[in-house]
Structure 1
Amino acid sequence: MIYHSTRNEQLTASSTHAVLQGIAPDGGLYICDPAALHFDWRAALEKDTLSMAADILHALLPDFENMEQLVRDSYAGKFPTSDLTPLTPVADKYVLELYHGPTSAFKDVALSVLPRLIVAAAKAEGMKGDVVILTATSGDTGKAAMEGFHDVPGTRITVFYPHGGVSAVQQAQMATQEGNNVRVCAVRGNFDDAQTGVKNIFAACKDRDLHGAMLSSANSINIGRLAPQVVYYFRAYGDLVKAGRIRMGDVVDYTVPTGNFGDILAGYFAKEMGLPVGRLICASNANDVLTEFLTTGRYDKRRPFYKTTSPSMDILVSSNLERLLYLVSGDAGYVAQLMAQLNEQGWYQVSEDILARLQAVFGCGCCNDAGAAEVIGRLWREQKYLCDPHTAVAWSVAESHTRGEAPMVVLSTASPYKFPAAVLGALGEKTGDDEFAMMEKLHALTGTDIPANLRGLEGRPVRHRDVIDTGDMLNYVLSDVLK
C-alpha cells in the first residue's frame, strides 16, 4: 500500500517510511484509503485480541514483517489480561475501558506498539543513526510515549507539555520518568503552542544535517500511532457479539472524548475497513471547536482557551481532522488550501457537500466541567461505576445521541485516579493540594483499586525540571541531537 501526504498526492511513501518519518515533507499527514483494503473483518473477529490486532496492523502497515510477533512482544507483560481493553456494561450503555496499561491511559494501547514499529521501520529503511522522537502532550501521550521508548536502542525521545496545563499526577508521571534516552520539558503556553512548536521543528529540520539522526513523532500525526487504535473498535464489537448483545452485522455507535481527533478517526478507519459502525459521536469539553465544526462546517481556532478538568481535551487545533478532510473530499489540493488558511487566518469553512458527508457519520456535543462532575457523581451513586472527567464528558454527550436500535459504546480514556481532585469534588468530597493523598481518599471512599503505577509515584525522585518558551523549542531539540 502506498501512503501519501494529505496535501499532495505526489508525495508518496511506503508504510515503513511513513511511520519512520512521522509527518510528510510538506507538513501534511500520511494517509491511505482504508476502504480500499478489502479487509476481512468477520474473520478477524474470530481471533484472539493480539492475532486480530496483527491482522489489522498488517492490513494498514503491509511493509512490516512478522507483525504478529511484533504485536505479541509489544504487549507482553504490560496489560493485566490479553484482551487489553475490557468492555463493561453500565446502565444502558457499554464503557470501553482503554486505561489498563502501564500508565493508566488509552495511549498505552498504541504506544506499546509504536516503539517496535519505529525500530522495525528504521531497520527496513536502512537507517543507521538514532531516531529522535518529538512529542507534544496534553497530559497522557507524554508519559505513555516515554514508557514505551525509554532505553529502546537506537531511539531518543523529547516530550513537551504545557507548563501548568496538566494534572499534578500527569506531571509527576513525566517528571520522574527514568531512561537514559528521555527528556521532558514544560513549555510556557498551552498544548496548541507545544504542538505547533513540534511541527515547526520538523519543518525547520527538513533539510538540516542532523548528524545521521532522523526526527519522528509519537503523536497521532504518526500513522504508526493511529493504526493500533483501530483495533479496540473491532474488539468492542466482537465482545458485543460474543456476549449476545448484537448479531454479526448489526451496527454499533461509539462516543469518543477527543481533542486531537485521533481516537475518533481510528473509529472512522474501522468503519471504512468494513466494521458495522453506525454513528461516531465526537465529545468535546468547553474547548468546543470540534462541536462547532461538525455542526456548521466552520473551523475557527480564534476563540478563548479554557483549562478544564479534562485537560487531555484542552485543544483548539485538532491535527487529525486533516486526515478526515482528505478521506471525505479525496482532494489533496483542497485540504492544502484549508490548512494554509487555518495557519494564516485561523479559520476555514468547508463546503456544504463536505459538511453533509461528515454529518452522515459524525454526531457531536460538548460538556463543561459542571456537567462532567454531575455525570461522575450520578454514575457512582446510581451504578457504583467510577469514571474520570474525560469519560464523563463522553457519557454526557452520549446520553443525547443514544438510539434504541444501536448499542452505544462510550470510550473511557483514563483511570479516575489520574484526576483524583476532579473526581473527589464530583463526589461531594473536600479536596486539597496533595493529589496522592486524594488518591488514597478516593480509594477509601469507593473501595476501587489505585493502579499500581500511580500508587508508586509518590516519593520517586524528580528527574526533569526544564521549562522554556516556545521560541526555544528548536534549540532545545538541537542541543540534544547535535551533541
Structure 2
Amino acid sequence: MDYVSTRNKERKVSAAYAIANGIAPDGGLYCPTAFPALTDADWKTLAESDYKGRSALILGKFLTDFTAEELADFASKAYADEKFGGADTAPVVKLGEGKNLLELWHGPTCAFKDMALQMLPHLLTASLRKTGETRTACILVATSGDTGKAALDGFHDVPGTKIMVYYPVDGVSPMQKLQMVTQEGKNVEVVAIRGNFDDAQSAVKRIFTDEDTRAALDKDGMMLSSANSINWGRLAPQIAYYVSAYCDMVAAGTIAQGDKINVCVPTGNFGNILAAYIAKKMGLPVNKFICASNRNNVLTDFFKKGGEYNRNRDFFTTTSPSMDILISSNLERLLFFASDFNDKLVAELMGKLNTEGSYKVAEDVFAKIEAEFDAGCCDDSHAADTINKLWKDENYLCDTHTAVAVRVYEDYRARTGDETPTVIASTASPFKFCRSVIEALGGTLENDDVTQLEVLSQLTGVPAPAPLAALAGKTPRFDRVVDKADILSTVGLLKDL
C-alpha cells in the first residue's frame, strides 16, 4: 500500500518510508491511499485471537511491506504479558447506561500512549532497515504529558535511535513530570519549555521543515523522525484496540456481531479518535464518534460551529493536561479523508491555520464529517463531579481525562436519547493525576510527590500501579528549561547523546 502527504498526493512512498521519516517534507502528514476492508474471515480470526494477534492482523492490512511474521513478532514483544499486567492488554469494563470503558492504561507508563509506543520502536527500526537508512534516527517528541514518557520508555537504549522530548514546564502533572525527568537510558534527553504544548508541537514541526537543521544532522550521520501521532507508525497501532474492544463486547454478549456501537474519546490532538474513524472505514460498525474536549474546546467548537476551526483563543491549563491543546494536528488527516483526498484543499486550510490561526471547511466536506461526529466539552469542576459519582455509584475509579469523556458521553445520551452501547476510551491511570482525583473524592493532598500514590490508595483501597510506585527514591536526571523561542537551538544536544 502506498502513502501520500495530506498536502501533496503526487509523490507516493512506502509504509516503511513514511514511518522512518515521520512527517512529509512539505509539512503534511502521511496517509494510506485506501482503506483496506476487514472480511468475514478476518472477523472470525479476530474473534479467536488475543490482542497480539489482533494487532498484527490490523497492522498487516496497512503495512504491506512488512511480513506477517515480522508483525506477529513485533506484537508479541510490544504487548508482552509482563509489560501489560497479563494477557488482557486492553480490557473493556462494562458499567451502567451504555458505558463500556476501554482501559488503555495497563502498559509500562500507565497511559494509552503505551498501546502505540511499545510497538513503534519495532516498526521504526525495521523501517530504517527496509529503506536502507544507515543514519541514526533522532526522534523529536512534543508532549502534553503522556506521550513523552511513553516514547522515552519505548525508545530508551534502542540501537540506532536517539530521542528528545519537549514538555511544557507548567503544563503536566507532577507524576507525569517525575516519570520523564527520571527516565533512564543513554540515548535520551528531556527539555522543559516555557510555553504550552502547542508551542512545543509547532517548534518540532518547524525543526522538521528547517533545511539547515536537517543538513547539519545529516552531516553528523543523523536524520529526524517523530514518535508523535503525526507519524503513521504511531497512529496505526491504535486502530487495533477499537476493533479488539468490539470483539470483546461481542464475546461478552454486550452486543451481537454486526451491531453498531458509539465511540467516545477524550482528545486534544485528535489522533486517538481518528484511529477509531479509520477502524470504521475498515468495517467496524460505528454509529457515532463523540469527541470529548476539556475547557480548551477548540474541537468542540469546530464540530458545533459548522467546521470553523479557530485557535485564536485563550489557552487554559486544566486538570486534564494531556488535552490542553489548541492545534489538533490529526484533524488534518480527517480533512484529507473527508474531502476525498483533496490535498490542495488541505494545503490551503493548513496555510490559513499557520498564517491566520483559523479556517473554515467547505460545506460539502463538513457535511460528511458532521454525519459521523458529535462533540462536547467538560470543565474541571464537572470532571471532578464525574470522578466522584463514578466512584460512589459504580465503584469505578477513573482519571481526569476519562472523566471528561464520561461526562460528555452522558450529556450526549441525555441530549439525543441515543442508547447505542458506547466504547469510552479510558486513557490513563487515575494515579497519574492523584491530586485532582483525591480532591474530587473529597480527600486532601499536601505534597505533589510520589507519596500522593499512597494517599489515593489509602482513600480508595485501590493499589497504585507498580510502574508508578517504582518511582519512589529515583533522582531526576533532567532539569533543562528553555524559552519556546530557543527550542531550535536544543537540537544540537542530540550530537552529544
**Shorter chain as normaliser: what TM range?**
over 0.9
Corresponding residue for residue 63 of structure 2: 61
Mapped to 1, the partners of 2:488 and 2:448 lie a distance apart of 34
Greater shift in the superposed pair: 425-434 or 354-363: 425-434
- Structure 2 CA distance for aligned equivalents of residues 349 and 482 of structure 1: 44
**Structure-1 separation of matches of 2:108 and 2:411:** 33
- Divergent runs of 4+, >6 A: none
Choose from 443, 452, 463 the match for 1:449. 463
Q: Provide TM-score, normalisation by structure 1.
A: 0.98
1:316 aligns with 2:330: no
Kindly indicate whether the alpha-carbon contact (under 8 Å) linking 1:34 and 1:272 is maintained by their aligned counterparts in 2. Answer: no
Matching residue's letter, 2:401: H
Tell whether the 8 Å contact from 1:34 to 1:269 is kept in structure 2 after alignment.
no
Instruction: Using the TM superposition, give the Cα deviation of residue 27 of structure 1 relative to its aligned residue in structure 2, in angstroms.
Output: 0.1
Partner of 1:136: 142
Q: Is the 8 A contact 1:376 1:388 kept in 2?
A: yes
Provide TM-score, normalisation by structure 2: 0.95
Which residue matches 1:20?
20
- Matched-pair contact (CA < 8 Å) for 1:138–1:313: yes
Residue 50 of structure 2: aligned partner: 48
Q: Name the residue aligned to 1:71.
A: 75
Q: Deviations over 1:279-338 (max 9, x none)?
A: 110000000000000111110000000000000000000000000000000210000000
Deviation at 1:44, TM superposition (A): 4.1
Q: Deviations over 1:427-477 (max 9, x none)?
A: 111222334232211101111110011111121011011111122222211
Say whether residues 1:283 and 2:292 are aligned partners. yes
Describe how 1:287-436 pairs up with structure 2 within 5 A. 287-296=296-305, 297-330=307-340, 331-402=342-413, 404-436=418-450
Quote how far apart the aligned CAs of 1:36 are.
4.4
SS of the residue 1:71 aligns to: helix
In 2, distance between residues paired with 1:43 and 1:10? Answer: 37
1:121-147 Cα shifts (integer Å, max 9, x gaps): 011111112111100000000000000
For residue 253 of structure 1, what is the amino acid of its counterpart? Answer: N
Matched, 1:96 2:96: no
Alpha carbons of structure 1 residues 26 and 117: separation in structure 2 relative to 1, 3 Å: same
Question: Is the CA contact (8 Å cut-off) linking 1:132 and 1:481 kept in structure 2?
Answer: no
SS at match of 1:305: coil
Q: Deviations over 1:335-377 (max 9, x none)?
A: 0000000000000001111221111111100000000000001
Q: Unaligned 5+ residue runs, structure 2?
A: none
In structure 2, the residue corresponding to 1:24 is in which secondary structure? Answer: coil
- Counterpart mapping for 1:267-282 below 5 A: 267-282=276-291
Gaps of 5+ in 1: none
Q: Provide the rounded CA distance (Å) in 2 between the counterparts of 1:409 and 1:479.
A: 42
2:215 to 203, 208, 225: 208
The one-character-per-residue Cα deviations of 1:179-207 (angstroms, maximum 9, x if unpaired) are 00000000110000000010011011475
CA contact (8 A) 2:112 2:428 kept: yes
What is the alpha-carbon distance in structure 1 between the residues aligned to residue 214 and residue 424 of structure 2? 43
Measured in 2, the distance between the counterparts of 1:43 and 1:8 equals 37
**Distance in 1 of aligned mates of 2:244 and 2:449:** 33
Range that drifts further, 259-268 or 352-361: 352-361
Following the alignment from structure 2 to structure 1, what is the Cα–Cα distance between the partners of residues 72 and 39?
A: 17
Identity %: 51
Aligned residue for 2:87? 82
1:400 counterpart SS class = helix
Residue-pair matches, total: 483
- CA–CA separation in structure 2 for the residues paired with 1:481 and 1:118: 20
Distance 1:436 1:73 in 2: 29
1:75 Cα shift? 2.0
- Counterpart residue type for residue 19 of structure 1: I
In 1: Cα distance, 2:403 partner to 2:313 partner: 24
Distance in 1 (alpha carbons) for counterparts of 2:394 and 2:482: 45
Q: Distance in 2 between matches of 1:11 and 1:37?
A: 24
Partner of 1:312: helix, strand, or coil? helix
Match of 1:160 in 2: 166
Equivalent AA in structure 2 for residue 437 of structure 1 = T
Q: How much is the aligned-residue C-alpha RMSD, in angstroms?
A: 1.4
Q: Aligned residue for 2:154?
A: 148
